[in-house]
Amino acid sequence: MDRLSSERRSWLMSQVKGINTGPEIAVRKMLFKLGYRYRLHCKKLLGTPDLVFPSRRVAVFVNGCFWHGHRGCPKGRLPKSRVEYWRTKIEANRKRDSSRVRQLRRAGWLTAVVWQCELKNPSKVLQRLVQILEAPASSLHGRKH
Ligand SMILES: [Zn+2]
């Protein structure tokens, strides 16, 4: 097996795992039922958050554990081969993620990250998001200037 095709295979495998978006959709549907209105994959906002609640200025990113380097998560573990290659790649993703969050916060947005593995428990994710969505603006650390 040459290098490129094994790299591509690892990539495909991680993508396929991410395709199972069932729980993500479940969380969205529940939010909608509760009366929250959102936009999906809002390209106008920095970093294209997966869910944006414009009236509440809340942006939510749903992150795959592998690509976004979820620390301490079994799904965020690096493959056993070409460790340096993956480490560099995923560290770059992590840096990009945190600078997006910082910039959004500076612009007065409240951000939340939902990890792919957390979606195993959609109601817990939902609870956390509702808490963020319902938090009084003045108490939010992200909204202070
Ligand atoms: Zn995870």
> And the tokens for 65?
């554990």
Distance CA 145, CA 143 (A): 6
Q: How far is the CA of 39 from the centre of ligand 1 (A)?
A: 24
* Cα 138 to middle of ligand 1, angstroms: 31
Cα–ligand 1 centroid distance for 115 (angstroms): 5
The pTM assigned to this predicted structure is 0.75
Instruction: Please give the pLDDT value at position 91.
Output: 95
Task: Kindly give the distance from the C-alpha atom of residue 125 to the centroid of ligand 1, in angstroms, as a whole number.
Answer: 13
141 burial type by CB count under 10 A (0-12 exposed, 13-18 middle, 19+ buried): exposed
Residue 145's pLDDT is 43
Per-residue pLDDT, 48:
81
What is the full per-residue pLDDT of the chain (145 aa) written as tens digits?
556 677 777 766 666 555 545 677 878 888 888 899 998 877 777 778 889 999 899 999 988 899 999 999 999 888 889 999 999 999 999 999 999 999 999 999 999 999 989 988 888 898 999 999 988 664 555 444 4
CA of 90 to the centre of ligand 1 (A): 14
Distance of CA 54 to CAs 57, 61, 73, 122, 133, Å? Answer: 5, 14, 31, 22, 11
